[in-house]
Amino acid sequence: MRQILYISSKTPGQDISVGNILIQSRRNNDAVGVTGLLYTDGTRFLQVLEGEGAAVTATFERIRADPRHHAVVVLSDKAVAERSFGRWAMAHRLPTDPADEFDARVTRMLADASDSVRGTFLGLIAVRR
């Protein structure tokens, strides 16, 4: 099983609908057995993808080619024995969401993640606060 952790930024001038990204990602990832976690504030994207190697590679290459993303940087690419995220999840904080409740929800989503994945997500969340 393969796990890729990456960060990217919204391409300037691109109008991004996080809701549409979620719908499209769930459909695409369910079809190929890819799971993971996507955190976005609408400007930055931090995502971990996991699953069978070929499916993760194809999913990541599709994301890398997406014109809505730029400055895509792989933070980690490794083999894992099992999934950290048993289902597809997306964390997105709406302006009306209290920060403490949002942070608690993301922390629960990261409960089974490795220390490095959990630390990367929580670090970005802390910086974006």
Q: Is the pLDDT of residue 91 over 90?
A: no
Provide DSSP, the chain.
-EEEEEEEEEPTT----HHHHHHHHHHHHHHHT-EEEEEE-SSEEEEEEEESHHHHHHHHHHHHH-TTEEEEEEEEEEE-SS-S-SSEEEEE--TTS-HHHHHHHHHHHTTTS-HHHHHHHHHHHHHH-
Instruction: Answer whether residue 19 shows pLDDT above 90.
Output: no
Q: Taking the model in full, what pTM does it have? A: 0.86
Domain ranges across the chain:
2-128
Q: Span 2-128: which CATH code?
A: 3.30.70.100
The pLDDT tens digits for 41-85 are: 778 889 999 999 999 999 999 999 999 889 999 999 999 999 988
